Structure 1
Amino acid sequence: MNNKPWAALVERGGKCGFVDKVKNMMDSGASAVIVGDYQKGPLITMYSDREDTSDIIIPSVFITQTHYRELRYLGMELEQGFLIKITSDEEDLPVLDAIVFLIVSPLLVFPFLFFLWWMQLRQMRLADLAPPEVVNNLPIKVFFKSKLKDNDPVECVICLDEYEDEDELRVLPCRHEYHAACIDNWLTTRKKF
């Protein structure tokens, strides 16, 4: 082989186990080892009979029979060889993906929840308002100082102005009286009686 890094393509089987195949290819100068299955079937985990495999410092991978045959065919067809890109699993960080998901999801959900809360609050406020038709049907009393009784109020508790003769007072079902202009605005924009 030339001085360029190369990957060994070997077939599973024979007397050598996975670790022995990779170690032998590493000793032969391979920069990586691709072990292909000799039979159809699912991927299996490469294993070792020995406990310590720290002497193997090159990447190795196990591939299906179909992929093995495709690579072997390409290797025989292309005299100059072909480029194999080896990427580290460290680039694929599922923990980072989970963290991003856990941060981005609430950021997308919170505005929606805030909108729902705001709409519900708005609906509650609207439900708490008296319709103008109902307010307009409440009785009106014309105020005269000469007709005052002992406990009758003499000022509007909304605007704090004293009642003047011929002021129109709105009488609520609870018998409280206010300037019609003051209480009508209150009942239709803030709170019903």
Structure 2
Amino acid sequence: MFGSHLGDDGLVGRLLVVESIEPGNLDGCRPLSSPVDSSESWIMLVERGSCGFAEKVRNMQASGAAAVIVGDPWYDLPITMYASGDTSDVRIPSSFIARTEYNGLRDAALDTPDGRPLKIKLVRNEYYELPFLDVLFITILSPMLMMGFIYVLYRLRLRQHRLRDLAPTDLVNSLPVKIFYHSKYREGEPAECAICLDDFDDEDELRILPCKHQYHVKCIDRWLTTRKKFCPICKKNVCPSSESSPLLSPRLRALV
């Protein structure tokens, strides 16, 4: 639409083709030379080209039209009518139609039976009259929100996979702990933490994993709950196998 907006009830009027009123004025680029003999509102159908949209509408407005329809004689692609400069003087509504609709409407208006006038009704196209913020939301914000939603789902999925690789805190806390003393050290036992590489000192708390490897409590607890649920040395899972998914034996693992 160009010019004023249609009301909720639309606009009903007699459809006139400008060339039937003035054969030399096919495109409505000048006002009609004589007034239209009609006691009812009329809507003028003009052809695209030769002058701007605003000029066509102004000319037909000056000639007494209640609305203007601009038809494209070449293409079947809808376009948005645009005019540069001030168009506040344009007080009547106008609309653009593509070639197929233009030819059909033109033929219907020119070939009415018994010369009876063809009446049409212009109604608002709600899609093109959406408030600016609604259009902004639909065209820009909606895709952004969708991408944000997809990103959140992606992060949640990563978190779920991450949690599967970690040992539950309760399980880690349930693993046995011993106090290290040099006086009780046995030949062949580890004398340092394989995570921090510090030597064990007297009264250090050591966490003993099911595989019997030992680490500082603070080192191995952080490892199991934030990195991997496997022993850093032998890679054995510290979580017990469930009945639904038992751990594979070494022999079966080799066959898979």
- 1:32 paired to 2:34: no
Choose between structure 1 and 2: higher helix proportion: 1
- 1:14 paired to 2:23: yes
Distance change in 2, residues 1:15/1:78 (3 Å): closer
- 1:65 paired to 2:103: yes
Provide the rounded CA distance (Å) in 1 between the counterparts of 2:137 and 2:35. 41
Provide the rounded CA distance (Å) in 1 between the counterparts of 2:40 and 2:25. 17
Asked whether the equivalents of residues 182 and 202 of structure 2 are also in contact (C-alpha less than 8 Å), the reply is: no
Identical-pair percentage: 13
Provide the rounded CA distance (Å) in 2 between the counterparts of 1:33 and 1:54. 10
- 1:103 paired to 2:110: no
Letter in 1 for 2:184: K
Provide the rounded CA distance (Å) in 1 between the counterparts of 2:24 and 2:115. 30
Letter in 1 for 2:31: D
Provide the rounded CA distance (Å) in 2 between the counterparts of 1:171 and 1:22. 105
- The two structures, once aligned, show a CA RMSD in angstroms of 4.9
Q: Following superposition, which runs of at least 4 residues in structure 1 exceed 6 angstroms of deviation?
A: 51-54
Distance change in 2, residues 1:106/1:23 (3 Å): farther
Matches within 5 A, 1:122-133: 122-123=160-161, 129=166
Distance change in 2, residues 1:119/1:72 (3 Å): same
Letter in 2 for 1:59: A
| Higher Rg of the two aligned structures | 1
Which position in structure 1 is the counterpart of 2:154? 116
Shift of 1:20: 2.5
Number of aligned positions between the proteins: 154
Q: Deviations over 1:46-97 (max 9, x none)?
A: 6559x88764562111333343113333x32796x66511135787237442
Which position in structure 1 is the counterpart of 2:129? 93
Which position in structure 1 is the counterpart of 2:113? 76
Asked whether the equivalents of residues 41 and 65 of structure 2 are also in contact (C-alpha less than 8 Å), the reply is: no
Provide the rounded CA distance (Å) in 1 between the counterparts of 2:181 and 2:203. 10
Asked whether the equivalents of residues 141 and 170 of structure 1 are also in contact (C-alpha less than 8 Å), the reply is: no
Asked whether the equivalents of residues 8 and 30 of structure 1 are also in contact (C-alpha less than 8 Å), the reply is: no
Shift of 1:35: 2.2
* TM-score (norm: length of structure 1): 0.51
Distance change in 2, residues 1:99/1:109 (3 Å): same
Asked whether the equivalents of residues 22 and 33 of structure 1 are also in contact (C-alpha less than 8 Å), the reply is: no
Asked whether the equivalents of residues 44 and 69 of structure 2 are also in contact (C-alpha less than 8 Å), the reply is: yes
Provide the rounded CA distance (Å) in 2 between the counterparts of 1:15 and 1:78. 21
Which position in structure 2 is the counterpart of 1:154? 203
* TM-score (norm: length of structure 2): 0.41
Provide the rounded CA distance (Å) in 1 between the counterparts of 2:70 and 2:222. 78
Provide the rounded CA distance (Å) in 1 between the counterparts of 2:39 and 2:181. 113
